[in-house]
Structure 1
Amino acid sequence: MNSISLSEPKPISDAFVVMEQPVDRDSDEYLMEAYSSGSAVAFEKLYARHKGGLFRYFYRNCSSRDIAEELFQDVWMKVVNARESYQQSAKFTTYLYRIAHNRLIDHYRHLSSAQHAMRSDADNQEIVENHSEQETVDRSLELAQRDETLKAAICALPFEQREAILMQQDGHLSLAEIAEIAGTSRETIKSRLRYAMQKLRDQLGELKS
């Protein structure tokens, strides 16, 4: 008669353990999905959460409240019109600021065309693509954003540097997210932020040794 070998029971494989992940019903992504399904309240929450940062992004890029308001409204209309076809493929902020970035580029293209009709040398954009490490924006700069001197300094930055700074500060986007929106590399965004911070600190007399 064969003997029966007794052994410790094997642990249940993790593959058979189904753990339900909690759903964050207050996340941007959940709210956008809810809005896609017809929830007006979800849209109101999204709008209230991001209207300030998005408007500042346009206003500091354009230095015109009227133009900023127009572009701001255009972006939200695009979000509204795309609600039924919306599919989550990235963070909502990335989705929102990609629309904003494209709308701003269109604005500058039209502006450039109009200026070119009056003067052939209308070209105010500078592309800086030198791979460097990013200097972290310090707390004193964040607090100084309300200062008119800083606003003027930001407006004087080349477009690519200004946009990177504003996406980081107003949109709270990561380097990877900004790079995805701008259609460039993470290293290029790091370089743009570094150059922008250097110029701002030079102009504000805050350059650190």
Structure 2
Amino acid sequence: MPGPALPDPNVDEPDEALMLRYAAGDIAAFDTLYARRELGVWRFLLRSVRIAAVADDLLQDVWFAVARQGGSLRASTDGGTGYQPSARFKTWLFTIAHHRLIDHFRSDRHDLRLDDDAKEDGTLLDTLAADSGLGPLRQLQSRQQAEALIEAVEQLPAEQREAFLLQAEGGLSVEDIARATGVNFETAKSRLRYARQRLRQQLQEFA
């Protein structure tokens, strides 16, 4: 009779330690990082481009970059996307995602729409309400309310929407958002503040 399953030794390790293990050749450490962060990155990309197939492609590009750069891990002081052993992995990861979005929008300037699958995904509602100080929206349950919230996020100016989604989907702090998007702390803080104000105005009927 088989014994109990052994716990995964990587589960409780910080992202940064896992990244260093991967750089040293531990493929399982990369698998743990991917399982831990893949959904948040994908949701951030999806809410930004609004087409699931495009988000899938961008997600693949992001993780290819992580694997490629992690395999030749080195300190970087040039302000690029090279991973620094002392840096937070999550901030670096979403910085890569940010740059891939910039590349995408520069090469594909066309109208995008939120597809039906995204509208039916209630997890965005839960995340935004819990992480972004929207108070009464924590109780919203209906599809109509969820769609209203997603539509309101869509209507945010691009820079405010990105900052908001980096916090809501990525769990980044204001300081991390500033680093990921290449702006100063006060600019990132202002973008978040204006995004929340706009959302509250748009969603007053559900408060």
TM-score range, shorter chain: 0.7 to 0.9
Cα 1:149–1:88, aligned 2, differ >3 Å: closer, same or farther?
Answer: same
**Which residue is 2:194 aligned to?**
195
1:169-180 matches, within 5 Å, as 169-180=168-179
Instruction: Percent identity, please.
Output: 45
Distance in 2, matches of 1:38 and 1:78, equals 16
Distance in 1, matches of 2:21 and 2:138, equals 33
Of 53, 60, 69, the residue aligned with 1:66 is 53
Larger-gyration structure (1/2): 1
Per-residue deviation, 1:190? 1.1
Distance in 2, matches of 1:161 and 1:201, equals 14
**Which residue is 1:154 aligned to?**
153
* 1:91 lines up with 2:88 in the alignment: yes
State how many pairs are aligned: 164
- Assess if the C-alpha contact under 8 Å between 2:137 and 2:206 holds in 1: no
Q: Which runs of 4+ in 1 moved over 3 A?
A: 138-146
Per-residue deviation, 1:152? 1.5
**Which residue is 1:183 aligned to?**
182
1:40-189 matches, within 5 Å, as 40-86=27-73, 87-112=84-109, 137-141=133-137, 147-189=146-188
Per-residue deviation, 1:207? 9.2
3-state SS in 1 of match to 2:85: coil
- Assess if the C-alpha contact under 8 Å between 2:178 and 2:184 holds in 1: yes
Distance in 1, matches of 2:28 and 2:102, equals 31
Distance in 2, matches of 1:143 and 1:63, equals 25
Distance in 2, matches of 1:92 and 1:69, equals 21
Q: TM-score, normalised by structure 1?
A: 0.72
**Residue segments in structure 1 that go unaligned for 5+ positions in a row:** 1-23, 116-135
**Which residue is 1:28 aligned to?**
15
Per-residue deviation, 1:143? 6.3
3-state SS in 2 of match to 1:184: coil
